[in-house]
Amino acid sequence: MGGEENEVVSEINTTPLVDIMLVLLIIFLITIPVATHTVQVNLPERMSHLTMVKPGNIVLAVNADGQIFWNEQPVADMNMLGSKLVEISAMKPQPQIQIRGDINARYEFVGKVVDACQQAGITRVDFITQPPKPG
C-alpha cells in the first residue's frame, strides 16, 4: 500500500500550457482586426523604430486627396480638428498622436495636421511609416 503512493509520475501535465495557448490565441484573434482595420493610405517607406499602436493613441490619417481622418472617422475641416486636439491636449496623461500620411499626399496637407497639433499643445506626435520591401 505505501509503495503505490510514492510512485514518480514521469508524464508532463500539458493541460495548463494548452489553456494558456488557447487564451493567447483568442486575444490575438480579437486584437489583430482592430490593429489592421484602418483608413487605406499608401505609407512612405522608411526604416525607423517600431511604434506600438495602443488603444489610447489617436491616429490621424491623411489620404492622397488631403482628407483627414480621426481614428477612421472623417474630419469636416481644420477647425473641427483643432477643437478635438485642444480637448485631447488637456488630458492627463496626454494620448500620443500618430500621423499616417499617404505617400501621394501633398506636404501641405500633412503639414497642416502637424501645425494643428502644435497649436493645440500636443507634446507627442509620431509619423507612421512602413518598412521598405526587402531586396
Residues 6+ apart with CB under 8 A from 109: 62, 66, 68, 101
pLDDT at position 23 over 70: yes
Q: How high is the pLDDT of residue 113?
A: 92
Q: Which residues pair with 45 in a beta bridge?
A: 130
Predicted confidence band of residue 47 (pLDDT cuts 50, 70, 90): low
In eight-state DSSP terms, residue 44 is P
Q: How high is the pLDDT of residue 45?
A: 64
Min mean pLDDT across 10-19, 27-36, 53-62, 110-119 is at 27-36
The CATH number of 58-127, from 3.40.50.2300, 3.30.420.40, 3.30.420.270, 1.20.140.10, is 3.30.420.270
Write out the three cell numbers for 103.
505617400
Predicted confidence band of residue 130 (pLDDT cuts 50, 70, 90): confident
How much is the pTM?
0.59
Residue 50's alpha-carbon distances to 16, 20, 25, 46, 47, in angstroms, are 32, 27, 23, 11, 9
Domain boundaries, the chain: 2-36, 58-127
| CA angle 134–40–113, rounded 5-degree value | 100
- Cα maximum dimension of the chain: 85
Q: Which residues pair with 70 in a beta bridge?
A: 60, 73
